[in-house]
Amino acid sequence: MKLKNSIKKMPTCLMAVALMTMAAAMTASAATAPTLQGRIVRRPVTPGDVTKYKLASTTEVSGGLSTVGVGTPIYLEAEANIAIPASNIVSVTWVLTTQPIGSVATFTDSPLGTNVPVYDPSERSQFQVLGRTLLRPDAIGQYTVTLTIATTSYGTTNLTQTITAGTYVGINTCTLCHSGGIQAEDKYTTWRTTAHANIFTEGINGLLGSYSASCLKCHTVGYDTTASATNGGFDDVMKQTGWTFPTVLTNSNWAAMPPSLQNVANIQCENCHGPGSQHAYSLGNTNLISKTVNSGDCNQCHDAPTHHVKGTEWYVSRHALTTGPTSVNCMPCHSANGFIARGASSTNANYALIPTPNATFAPLSCQTCHEPHGETVPLDNPHLVRVMGAVTMPDGTVVTNAGTGALCLECHRVRNGSATNQLVNYPIGKLTWFGGSSFGVHDSPQGDMIEGVNAHTYGQTIPSAAHRSAVTNLCVGCHMQTVAISDPAFLKAGGHTFNMVYSVVTTNGGIVATNTYDKVDVCVQCHGRIDSFDMVRSDYNGDGVIQGVQTEVQKLLDKLSTLLPNSTYQASGNYVADGLVKTGVSFKTNWPSKFLKAGYNWQFVANDGSKGVHNAPFAVGLLRASIGDLTGDSNNDGLADAWQIQYFGSPNSPSAAPNATPAGDGVPNWMKYILGLNPLQPGISVTNGLSVGVVWADGNSLVNPFGPTNTIQIYTAAEVAFDTEAGKTYQIQGASSVSSGWQNVGNAIPGTGNAVSYVTPTRQNVQQFYRVYSY
């Protein structure tokens, strides 16, 4: 059977413009033209999709598996590179090339409208939907689907996909092989301990409280009451046995059920792998059963707002938006298959961060973090989290108290290895980590930050916040906080969104506004009443103004960035930083060690993303230590650290503050620092204090420590600065008004090609204008 998606005709003038534009683009850069990247996708359809995209209430859900029950739908999707212009698509043709004997199944229109996007959020920026169709197998066996995509400029591609239709056999058949008795993996033993294996049993026995027949579609095998879906699922066995949902939930209900119905009750193998008849009858042919890490397999049940929202939350998380890896070295964290393979190859509970070249790419999904069969340690792991043991950080630190947050630390850490190893190997081109000789912290060093490890401390003991020991389950304890259905942050923050910030869009008088809020509920438990992560704590950057911790840390980041080289750095003995605030660091192998250390610390704090919230003392300490190493003034108070340490033991001692007067003589530290005096020794004599004639400013007033005998005063002046050219002469002139005559100020100045700065008094003038002319 053949189905061809029609391509709407464009007006001739528009077609001409489109063709000319496309031809010009191809001529200019034929070598960079996008590839077609056509593919057939079995799109999952979740309860959340039905609601969100306003699909018909009769739309059946699907996990997007290649193995389906007879009479149930497969939503097929033709996709291609999003860079291909829609006007360039000539045709999208579906052909059912093979099907079982007796089958009369044909393609029909898909109920998914054009408002339904590509399924995986991470792939929506890469692929576009060219066409959709629906196949509902009507007989047991295999169906071969062929898709042809024809384009004007990007070639034609033919793609095939095999679908297996079968019937449900239940747990009794699966355990014949998968309980450890035959040469197949024992999945049954650990599965029996999971909540999936007992959810229906506990529900009808009254152990879950509220429970009804509406739960059957997810809590049993193959439940589909559509007339065509006669395939041995729970609803079919219900009819055969005459069983009805109990009116009273009591602990005898499960035992009273017919054994044949118990066989297809609870959430078991075929809920996730599809009907197993063909797999079982072929003695385990793995081509006839589905195995996937696609989130749609879980979200056919877990994306069902408003109460089953784990998948709904995940859709808006950054995990769901993680794009494909650029190399095999990225697979351990950027691919579901890569992360799972990395754990399977490990010899202990810690997932060794090593390449997994045999793993294919798959978007991050539920199965990335959760092992559905319960094959985790310890066995009493209700959420089936893959990693709960000790984690070895890149610098060798072993974290043993992270709880379920240990899973987060496997990727949210400096993935380029230890800071000290990088500093040694990078300048000489040696490997800094298994992926190459790059320098820096990569994108997500949150684990290192919260633990206060793996950065350059310059030999100092930099303290850490209590988060690493006080927050149960570490990252999970805050980022997965529970959010009530009535909360504006519901499905936007907390839970599996992992978000700590959310936005609310409002419309008032036709004006649309977006307001962003910090979800601080979990923080209030320890920090008291706050409404923002930018909590006011201390003047961390030493500018005399106490602001929020995030504001203070950002100012320190900006200050440090002005001291770092830019991308055009060239080694020289008289190098001076450009003084510009930077938003990124481009490391060079010829950077001196001091710049590599400081740049690493800048990136460490910047890429953490929390601006001090994860570990304010450590973030602030690193930035101030880096600034101090480059300037000699770590707290940015204008006094050299060495001078403050010499007299006060620490730059941060209250007695070492610029305006402090520890000698009790009223003379501040900054004045004695400038004059080279001992700040602990009082007195104003020429021999042990201030020199005669010294005056300083206190606000708008001048302080004269020697009284009326001191005739020195400080007045304002004007500085006239200008560039000169060799061979020219310059004259500065002044006037009290633009209508009065111009008078020479000072002598003529011969040009040298350098800038000139000239200072002239202004104390006797109410106003004064200046000009410079050359001759």
pLDDT tens sequence across 104-157: 999 999 999 999 999 999 999 999 999 999 999 999 999 999 999 999 999 999
Per-residue model confidence as pLDDT tens digits over 580-616 = 999 999 998 989 999 999 999 999 999 999 999 999 9
The single-letter code of the amino acid at 667 is: V
Q: Which amino acid is at 649?
A: G
- pLDDT(501) > 50: yes
Quote the pLDDT of residue 347.
Answer: 41
- When mean pLDDT is compared across 248-257, 274-283, 405-414, 735-744, the lowest value belongs to 735-744
pLDDT of res. 328: 81
Confidence of residue 708 (pLDDT cuts 50, 70, 90): low
Determine the average pLDDT of the residues in 357-382. 82
What confidence score (pLDDT) does residue 673 get? Answer: 85
Q: Which range has the top average pLDDT, 283-292, 325-334, 571-580?
A: 283-292
pLDDT, averaged across the chain:
88
Cα distances (Å, whole numbers) of residue 202 to 251, 280, 383, 581, 673: 8, 29, 17, 60, 76
Q: Which residue has the tokens 């401390």?
A: 457
* Residue 654 C-alpha from the chain's centroid: 39
Helix (H, G, I), strand (E, B) or coil at 123: helix
Task: Write down the residue that tokens 């058949």 correspond to.
Answer: 173
Residue with tokens 């000169």: 724
**Burial bucket for residue 748 (CB in 10 Å: 0-12, 13-18, 19+):** exposed
Given the candidates 2.60.40.10, 3.30.300.30, 1.10.4190.10, 2.30.110.10, the CATH classification of the domain at 2-166 is 2.60.40.10
Comparing 669 with 558, the larger pLDDT belongs to 558
Buried b (16+ CB within 10 A) or exposed e, 164-175: bbbbbbbbebbb
Beta-bridged to residue 716, according to DSSP, are none
Sequence-distant (≥ 6) Cβ neighbours of residue 323 within 8 angstroms: 122, 125, 126, 334
Candidates 355, 398, 346, 353; CA nearest to 376 is 346
Say what the pLDDT of residue 183 is: 66
Distance CA 316, CA 748 (A): 70
Rounded mean pLDDT of 158-169? 98
pLDDT, tens digit (0-9, with 9 covering 90-100), for 458-500: 999 999 999 999 999 999 999 999 999 999 999 999 999 999 9
Query: Is 60 exceeded by the pLDDT of residue 357?
Result: no
**Confidence band (pLDDT; 50, 70, 90) for 182?**
low
Grade residue 93 by pLDDT with cuts at 50, 70 and 90. Answer: very high
- pLDDT(101) > 80: yes
Q: How far is Cα 294 from Cα 280, in angstroms, rounded to an integer?
A: 23
Of the listed ranges 171-180, 537-546, 565-574, 643-652, the least confidently predicted one is 565-574
| pLDDT above 90: residue 47 | yes
Are 302 and 331 contacting, i.e. CB atoms less than 8 angstroms apart? no
Q: Give the number of other CB atoms < 10 A from CB of residue 438.
A: 15
pTM of structure: 0.81
Q: Is 23's pLDDT higher than 90?
A: no
State residue 285's pLDDT score. 95
The residue-averaged pLDDT of 285-308 equals 95
Residue 685 has pLDDT above 70, yes or no: no
Residue 238 pLDDT > 50: yes
Q: Is the pLDDT of residue 340 over 60?
A: yes
Q: What is the share, in percent, of the chain residues with pLDDT greater than 90? A: 67
